[in-house]
Structure 1
Amino acid sequence: MFPLMESGLWMSLGAKAFDLWSLRRSVGVQASGVHTTIELIGRNRPGLLSEVFAVLTDLKCNVVAAEVWTHNSRMASVVYITDEATGGPIDDADRLSKIKQLLRYVLKGNRDKRSANTAISLGVTHTERRLHQMMYADRDYDRGDADEEESPSDRRKLQVTVENCTDKGYSVVNVRCKDRPKLLFDTVCTLTDMQYVVFHATLIAEGPEAYQEYYIRHSDGLPISSEAERQRLILCLEAAIKRRNTEGVRLELCCDDRVGLLSDVTRIFRENGLTVTCAEVSTRGSQAVNVFYVMDASGNPVQSRTIEAIRNEIGEAILHVKDDMYSKSSPQDGGKFSFGNIFRSRSEKFLYSLGLIRPDS
C-alpha cells in the first residue's frame, strides 16, 4: 500500500544538511576518514563520464563508489575516491587542487555557460539528498536550458498542481505520477530545500500510479503568495521526480574491482556512440557492482547489435542487459484531484512519526 515510504528519510533532512550557498560550484572536494568525496555538476554531453573517470585514473585515483544523475541537459555526480597507492583518502592540498582544476576543465567543455569556481565541500550529507540539492541549485528545473521540448505524453504521466486553501492558510500540493521507489524521498527533500514545511500529507499507491497531497506553508508561516512562486514550485517538483527516472537500457556490470575499470568501461560506451543517463557505482569487498543506463548519442534507444558489440568487448559473463520496461497505462483524466479524509489518518501518523509534518498551529 505504501511503497513510497523510505527508511532514513528524516535523517537525510536533518540539521547537518548542506547550506544552499555552498552548492554553486562545478567541482567540490572533501576528504573523510576513508575516502575523498568529489562533487561534479555541469552540462551533460556524450562521453562526459568517460572523460571524468579517465582523468581520475590518470591522477592515480581509484573510484570506490559514485552516483550520477542527468536531467534537462545537466549532469550531477557524487564520486568517492581513494588513493591508488595507499587505499586511503587523498588529503594533499596541491593534489586536490590539481584534481579540481582538471575536472573543472572537463566539465566546462566549450558549451557550459553555468560553470562556476571550484571549492571544497563543507559537510557531509546523504548522497541522493546532495544530488537533489546540487541540481536544484544549478536550476535544472529551468526548461529554457533543455535541448528538446517535453512531449505531451510525458506531461500526462506527471501532474503537479498547487492551490491555496485560503480558509486554513495552507497551500495544497497535489502530485500524480508513476509510482516508484524513493518517490516520497524526492518530493519531500525538494519541499524541504525550498523552505516549505509539511503540516499534513496523504500518500496513496494504486496500481502503477502514486498520488501525493501535501498541505504546506513557507518557513515564515505563510502560504504561497504569488503566481511566480507557484509556478516555480511546480517546476521544481517535476524536476525532482524526473531526475531519478531512468531512461535507456540498463546494463549491470559485476566483476573483480581494479583501478581504471570505470575508465575502460565508459570509454567503450563512448567509442560505441552511447551516452550514460544514470549510473550507480559501488564496491563490495573485492567486487565492483555497477549499473549504467545508456542511450545513443542522440537520445534514442540503443540498437541490439551495439549492445552485443559492447558485451563482446567487455565480457558477456560480467556485463548483463536488463531492459528498462515502463508500464503502459491509459492516460488518466488531466483535471484537478484531491484525496478523501479516509486515507489521511494513516499516512499522517507515519509522516508525523518521522517529524516531517507538524500538527495544526
Structure 2
Amino acid sequence: MTARDPSLPRAIRPRARGALSNEAGRFEPARHEAFDDGWHLPEDERLLRTEIRHERPRSALAYNRSPDLPFDRSVNPYRGCEHGCIYCFARPSHAWLNLSPGLDFETRLIARPGIGAVLNRELRAKGYKVAPIALGTNTDPYQPIEAQHRVMREVLEVLHAFRHPTAITTKGTLIGRDLDLLAPMAAQGLLRVGISITTLDPDLARRLEPRAPSPARRLQAIRTLSDAGIPVRTMVAPVIPGLTDHQIEPILEAVAGAGAVAASWIMLRLPLEVAPLFRAWVEHHHPDRAAKILARIRDIHGGRDYDPAFGRRMRGMGIWSDLIARRFQLATARHGLDRPQPRLRCDLFRPPPRIGDQLSLF
C-alpha cells in the first residue's frame, strides 16, 4: 500500500476509505511525500479517523447558472463527505479549503451549524423570488455525521416552515429520520427526493462508496419514502462504462419494485483531481480491467478523461454514450419510470410570522 500512497505516513491505515492517497490540491505550492528515513524505530499504527470542524456560515444559498442543471440555487450543510465515493465530482472543491481532494475530502469534514438561521434571513429578504432549492448537489446532506450534527435537519425545518419547494439528492438512509417534515411537504407538492444507486453489487459498492449505505439499504429507503407518500426518483449515477453499465436494467427493475416513480442517469465525470484518484483506484481494485475501463471513459469524453463542456459533461458523446442512453430509455419505459413528474409548487411560499410581527387579517 505504501507504494501507492506516497503522501501518507507509513503508520496511517486508511481503512474503509475511497481514495488511495492524499495528494495536495491544485492550489498548494508544495507537495508532501512520506519516505523511509532509515531509522528503524517502531511506529504505532493508527487508523485514519474522521475529523470534524465547524464553520460559521455567512450565507446559505449558493446560486448557479449551469444550463445542465434543473435548479439555480442550492444549500450545502457540509463540506467534504464521509461516504468517500471515489468518483465524486465534488472532491476538487476541497482544494479551495487548502485540503486534499483525496483522503482529506472524506476525513476532514466541515459542518455548518447555524446555517438554518442564515437561510431564514435570506428567504425573508424583500427581493427574494421563490424557486426550488436543491440539497445534496455537492456533498451528501445525510452523510454519517448528520446523525450527530443535525445541520440538514436545521435546513429542513426552515424550508418546511416557509413552505418552500425542495429537491433532495442523497445516498443516506438517515433521511428516514425526517419523515415528520418530508411527508407533509410532499403532500403539498413541495418535495421530491432522489436516491442515488450506482450498483446492486454490495462488494463493488463497498469499494466504490466505502461508507455509504449498501444498495439493499438504499432500496429499503426508497420503499420507506414511497410508503410515506414521498415521490422518489432514482439516479443511476454515475454510470461507469466497463464497470457498472451492465447493471442499468437490473437497477431500474429493482427501484421500480421498491416504489420509485422516475429515474435519471449521469455518466461518470472526472474533473481535475478526480481523474488521477479514479485511475489509481481502478488500477488497484480492477487491474485486469483497468485499461479497458479507462479507454472506454476516454472514448466517451472525446479522447480525454473528462470533457467539461455544457451539454456533454453529464452524458459524454459517441457510440457508447448513445448506447447507454438508448438502453436507459427502453428500460425506464418498460418499468414506468419515464413519466413526467409535476413541477414543485412555488405558490405556497410564505415566510412564517416572527415574534412581534403584525398578523394579517386575511
Q: Report the TM-score, using the length of structure 1 for normalisation.
A: 0.25
Higher relative contact order (CA 8 A, sep 6+): 1
Structure number with the higher strand fraction is 1
